[in-house]
């Protein structure tokens, strides 16, 4: 299955050399995010904590609908679009 990932996170975009979107494979949101990490290992630190959970500032949407942070098992299908966005934090 081919899933498009649109990225609205400057730090993640920097890790993937700045394209707006990449193609990943997987049957769930978590599998797709893990495939993104497999393709671009530097993204892991900007997506997941040490327990493999999404970071608080990372938001994931499937076809413009929110995928709850705890639901990395949410299914996706061929042609779906995952959006990754992150809050800008700091002071």
- Tens-digit pLDDT profile for residues 53-65: 899 889 999 998 8
Looking at residue 69, its pLDDT comes to: 59
- Whether the CB-CB separation of 47 and 59 falls below 8 Å is answered with no
| Cα–Cα distance for residue pair 52/33, rounded to 1 Å | 11
Residues 67-72, mean pLDDT to the nearest whole number: 67
- Kindly give the pairing relationship between strand 58-62 and strand 65-67: antiparallel
Say what the pLDDT of residue 64 is: 82
Q: Which sequence spans correspond to the domains of the chain?
A: 3-86
Q: Is the pLDDT score of 49 beyond 70?
A: yes
CATH architecture of the domain with residue range 3-86: Roll (3.10)
């Amino acid at each position: 299955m081919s899933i498009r990932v649109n990225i609205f996170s400057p730090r993640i975009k920097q890790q993937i050399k700045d394209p707006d979107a990449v193609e990943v494979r997987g049957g769930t949101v978590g599998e797709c995010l893990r495939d993104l990490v497999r393709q671009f290992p530097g993204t892991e630190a900007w997506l997941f904590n040490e327990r493999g959970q999404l970071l608080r500032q990372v938001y994931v949407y499937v076809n413009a609908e929110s995928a709850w942070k705890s639901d990395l098992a949410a299914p996706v299908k061929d042609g779906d679009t995952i959006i990754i966005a992150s809050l800008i934090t700091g002071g």
